[in-house]
Chains A and B, each alone.
Chain A
Amino acid sequence: MLEQDWIWGFVGGLMIGGAGALFLLMNGRIMGASGIVGGLVDGSGRSNWGERLAFLAGLILFPPLLVGLYDHVDTRLTDNIWLLVVAGLLVGFGTRLANGCTSGHGVCGISRLSWRGMAATIAYIAAGGVVVLLFRHWLGVI
């Protein structure tokens, strides 16, 4: 079963990369989720807010239209409110401080052979690994 997950992962990955390629070649923008949203909420992206909003609208509203697929996905998100708040704050602050997240640094940065993108990706995967080790295997909270 696991192997099938890898195939779907790869196919979904191609779609994600295709979306980034479209955004770059048509609009001349880097597809980074945290940058697109962050620029909207902190006002730094005022000059192209329309594009940002349109991207977000597609991102939020299109997946639910894939009924059958959408309804059968279980996101298995925790309902521990403290974990959610702390994680949300860390993700929001961290991605804006680093100027990118999994899509911006990971997908768009590494594919441009950017050292910054690679270093960021190594840093967030390593930190995530340590947190899972700590909170799952030592403390047992996640």
Chain B
Amino acid sequence: MKRMVFSALSGALFGAGLLVSGMVDTVKVQGWLDVFGAWDPTLAFVMGGAILPMAIAWQVAERRKTAVLGTPIPDRLPQKLDRNLILGSVLFGAGWGLVGLCPGPAFAAAFLNGASGLVFLVAMLAAMVATPALRRALTPKGDTAWTSAR
């Protein structure tokens, strides 16, 4: 029960932060990516503001080994840059640039975005459902980089 409460609180604070920071405004997000046009640096301030408390949290977490509610602190993945990481991020970035929405704000502004937001969410969720199968289908035989869940 406590886990649910703190999950919901985190989600609520995350959503409020996305709203306050202006990151639900798709034109503002595209403005950050528009380096050769009317560049809008706001996203850098959002990132900086978010990384600050999070960096402190990591310092505390890695000393504690487990979280307050008992779950082990997630392990560091092997710091290997693989094809999925880069290809996936490039595809994600392309979609992000096209309409200015990434997953967090798409949910935080679900009731603001109307039918357009729903179309985006349905397409995004459909792709998420299909990803494990797609990843397997695209796997060259014997190549483990594509099959690993990471």
Contact = CB atoms under 8 A, between A and B. Distances in A.
Per DSSP, chain A at the interface is helix
A66 B19 CA distance: 9
Interface string A119-142: 111011111111111011100001
B113 interface: yes
B40 to A, nearest CB: 8
A87 B52 CA distance: 30
20 contacts: A12-B49, A19-B13, A25-B61, A28-B72, A54-B7, A55-B14, A59-B15, A73-B22, A77-B116, A85-B120, A86-B95, A87-B95, A88-B124, A90-B98, A93-B91, A94-B88, A94-B90, A101-B102, A120-B85, A132-B97
B88 A95 contact: yes
A128 B19 contact: no
A23 B150 contact: no
A124 B30 CA distance: 13
A13 B130 contact: no
Nearest to A120: B89
Interface string A96-108: 1111011101111
Interface string B26-51: 11101001111100111101111111
Interface string A56-85: 111111111010011001111111010111
A129 to B, nearest CB: 5
Contact of A131 (B17, B50, B94, B102): B94
Contacts of B37: 132, 136-137
Of the four ranges (under 10, 10 to 19, 20 to 34, 35 or more), the interface on chain B belongs to 35 or more
Interface residues of A, number: 108
Given A20-B53, A62-B12, A131-B33, A98 B85 contact: yes
Nearest to A79: B116
Contacts of B21: 8-13, 15-16
A94 B67 contact: no
A46 interface: no
Given A24-B73, A59-B104, A51 B57 contact: no
A31 B47 contact: no
B92 A107 contact: no
Give 10 nearest A-B pairs by CB, closest first. A13-B49, A12-B21, A88-B123, A58-B11, A92-B127, A98-B88, A90-B95, A127-B93, A28-B71, A94-B92
Contacts of A105: 89
Given A12-B17, A76-B25, A97-B87, A20 B103 contact: no
A2 B17 CA distance: 18
B46 to A, nearest CB: 4
B12 A59 contact: yes
Contacts of B80: 116
Nearest to A69: B19
